[in-house]
Amino acid sequence: MTDRKTELASNLARVEERIASACAAAGRERADVTLIVVTKTYPASDVRLLHELGVREVAENRDQDAAPKAAACADLDLTWHFVGQLQTNKVRSVASYADMVQSVDRDKLAGSLSTAAVRAGRELGCLIQVALDAESGERGERGGVAPDGIEELAASIAEAPGLRLDGLMTVAPLAGEYAGRQRAAFERLLEFSSRLRAAHPAANMVSAGMSADLEEAVAAGATHVRVGTAVLGVRPRLG
Ligand SMILES: *Cc1c(COP(=O)(O)O)cnc(C)c1O
C-alpha cells in the first residue's frame, strides 16, 4: 500500500472502532449507522483510495470542488452527498452528480432542485437541514431552517417532482442554548425526526455528528455520521 493509503486505512479503522463502541454503548446495531466520509478539500485520488478501502458514501460542501471530483470518480460506485450551503445558481451542477442534498433549508432551493432533477432525469434524496439555534423564520449562520419551518418545507419537498424527502440533518450549533451541548442538540433533532416521520414515514434518515462529536450523535440515535478530519486529516484551510 502507498503511504497515503496506509494512513487512510488506519484512520478509517480508528473511526470504525469509535462508531462500533458508540453503537455498543447505546445498545444499537452497528449496521444502523452509516459512515459518510467528508472529502472536501482533499483530491480525487483520496476518494479513489477510500473507495478501495471500502468507502461508498462521500460528501462535499462546495460545488466548485465537488463537480470535477465527482467527474474524476464517475467510474466508481459511490453515493455523493452534498452538505454545504447551496446557492440556487449552483443547483443545476449539483443535481448532475449528487445523489443526496443534505442542506435543503428553504422553499426556493427545493423548487430549484426539483426543476434541475427533473431536467436531469434524476431523483434527488433530500434532507432538511435544521438550524437548532435559529429563531422562527430565520436561517442559521451555517445554513438550516428554524425548527418551526420543518413541517412546511417537508411538505413542499414531498410534493416536488424529482425530489425524495429522506429526513433531517444538523450541524451542532456553536452559539445559543445548544453551544457545547452536542448530545442535547442531537436529541432535539431526533424529536423533530419522530414528528416528521409521523407525517412522512419514509423520511427516517437523521444525519448528525462529525469527527468531534460522532459518539454523541450515535447515542442520540443518528443514522448517518459525517466524518472528515478524523479520516483524511486536518484540512489545510477552512472548508
Ligand atoms: C466539513 C463538514 C463535516 C465534517 O467535519 P469534520 O469535523 O472534518 O469531521 C460534516 N458536516 C458538514 C456539513 C461539513 O461541512
Proportion of the chain above pLDDT 70, given as a percent: 99
- For residue 229 and ligand 1, the question of a CB distance below 6 A is answered with yes
Q: Sorting pLDDT into bands at 50, 70 and 90, what band is 237?
A: low
Q: Sorting pLDDT into bands at 50, 70 and 90, what band is 238?
A: low
Which cell numbers in the block locate residue 48? 479513489
Ligand 1, residue 61: give the atom nearest the CA: 15
- For residue 227 and ligand 1, the question of a CB distance below 6 A is answered with yes
pLDDT by residue (tens digit) across 9-53? 999 999 999 999 999 999 999 999 999 999 999 999 999 999 999
Residue type, 58: V
pLDDT by residue (tens digit) across 124-151? 999 999 999 998 888 888 899 999 999 9
> Would you list the DSSP string of 8-41?
HHHHHHHHHHHHHHHHHHHT--GGG-EEEEE-TT
CA–CA gap between residue 125 and residue 120 (Å, rounded): 14
User: 137 alpha carbon to ligand 1 midpoint, in Å?
Assistant: 25
Average pLDDT, the chain: 96
* Residue matched to cell numbers 414528528: 195
pLDDT by residue (tens digit) across 154-199? 999 999 999 999 999 999 999 889 999 999 999 999 999 999 999 9
- For residue 224 and ligand 1, the question of a CB distance below 6 A is answered with no
- For residue 214 and ligand 1, the question of a CB distance below 6 A is answered with no
- For residue 61 and ligand 1, the question of a CB distance below 6 A is answered with yes
Which of 12, 41, 83, 127 to mutate to test ligand 1, by most ligand atoms within 8 A of the CB atom? 83
CA–CA gap between residue 98 and residue 82 (Å, rounded): 6
- For residue 211 and ligand 1, the question of a CB distance below 6 A is answered with yes
pLDDT by residue (tens digit) across 189-200? 999 999 999 999
- For residue 171 and ligand 1, the question of a CB distance below 6 A is answered with yes
